[in-house]
Amino acid sequence: MIEKDYIMRLIQTFFDVINRIVNSIDNDDIEGAKIQLNNLYGLLGNKEDYFLNTKYEEVIEFLN
């Protein structure tokens, strides 16, 4: 049960950050969106450069 709660909190946090990114874009706050996007990369466990410069197959392996 604790593991399920932890995963649910991670999913909720992930979608909260995505929501903040979308809201920032809707409000023409591009800098705010960039900050939130970097937070999202952190939640995924790496930096922006990794996700931009790595083949998607390797990213999928990393996330597993």
| pLDDT average per 10 residues of sequence, the chain (64 residues) | 81 91 94 90 86 90 86
pLDDT of 21 reads 93
Residues 6+ apart with CB under 8 A from 2: none
Q: What is the pLDDT of residue 23?
A: 94
DSSP 64: -
> What is the pLDDT at residue 5?
85
With residue 16 as reference, give the H or E element that holds it: helix 2-26
Residues 40/16, Cβ–Cβ less than 8 Å: no
What pTM, to 2 d.p., does this model score? 0.69
